Structure 1
């Protein structure tokens, strides 16, 4: 991959990562409730899902998903349902009592829980597979060794996404962290981000 092509890839990845979506909302929610440093666990989960998407496309399975309306719709509705679940859960959670896992208000969420949620937020998005199906071939030259190019594509995508999620979206939530110190503040923020999850779910279903 030439330097010119890589710089184009870098710029494209930055634009994509800066586009608000479920991953950005999940990252900001984690930063608000768990702190900027610990929000990295959720970003790691999201990036594992990105790796799976890229591997799926590189292996040719992505074409099967893109060409199967039933499979595509099944994944799409499952993703939307999961986002609605996250949104409703945030809105309904009591901020002055232990949550449904027995943690007291404001208690740290386990790293595994954050990683798992981040993974499913990104994984249950078939449009990401279709996007990579259209996006990735533009940066992979068929007359050059494939594996190094895919490795560069993967490393660049993950590096840019991590930097923007952690350095931009998670950092943007830090000024509002003080609002989580009171039950009312936590309730307000939970309602806002819960509603955003539901809006993204609706867009996932309605926007084709």
Structure 2
């Protein structure tokens, strides 16, 4: 995989991980209730769920590349459109994300299992990965190697971001959950998604 392509993916993956979603809410909630140290198992759980999605999506994309170059190209363009649409939806989203602050004595194992299920049952992750991966894969190259690089990069970035959210929430939870702040965050990342989609579309023209 070309170094510049990988760097472009890193930027896009950071936007993906930072954007508000169920993983962010889980990390904020755990940070508020249990602190950073105990929440590490939940962050691990989120990454296990994400890794399962990556493996499933990667296997499907690899099979698609092997069968039809035209279908793969169509998927790439659908992905561009999806990124732009997602950005518009995120920009228009005025709802706030409120973390569950009910404090109960949950074990590390319970936090781990709960986090795994949160990502496993989040279909938006699968749709996003399906839209994202083909933009950075060279059909003429080794798909397995490229998918492994993209997958490892995604997990590493997401784990770092979730750790940041958890640590920040343990110190400033009430500000993160502010409706006004969340509206600004939604607009910021909506603009970023639109920008990513537009850049990918321009690169293909």
> Normalized against structure 2, the TM-score is what?
0.62
Distance 1:113 1:14 in 2: 28
Distance 1:148 1:60 in 2: 15
Which residue of structure 1 aligns with residue 2 of structure 2?
A: 2
Q: RMSD of the alignment, in Å?
A: 2.9
Which residue of structure 2 aligns with residue 170 of structure 1?
A: 166
Post-superposition shift, 1:59?
Answer: 2.0
SS at match of 2:37: coil
Alignment deviations for residues 2-41 of structure 1 (CA, whole Å, 9 cap, x no partner): 1100100100010111101110110011111111122121
Which residue of structure 1 aligns with residue 15 of structure 2?
A: 15
Distance 2:56 2:148 in 1: 14
Which residue of structure 2 aligns with residue 38 of structure 1?
A: 38
Which residue of structure 1 aligns with residue 149 of structure 2?
A: 152
Distance 1:20 1:114 in 2: 20
Structure 1 segments, 4+ long, off by >6 Å, are none
Post-superposition shift, 1:54?
Answer: 1.1
CA contact (8 A) 2:35 2:167 kept: no
Question: By percentage of residues, which structure has more helix?
Answer: 2
SS at match of 1:144: coil
Note the 1:41-80 alignment, pairs <5 A.
41-60=41-60
Q: State the aligned residue count.
A: 143
Which residue of structure 1 aligns with residue 111 of structure 2?
A: 114
1:143 is the counterpart of 2:140: yes
Post-superposition shift, 1:171?
Answer: 1.9
Post-superposition shift, 1:176?
Answer: 4.4
Distance 2:145 2:36 in 1: 33
SS at match of 2:146: helix
Distance 2:26 2:128 in 1: 20
5+ residue gaps, structure 1, are 64-86, 104-108, 180-190, 197-208
Distance 1:113 1:123 in 2: 15
CA contact (8 A) 2:26 2:115 kept: yes
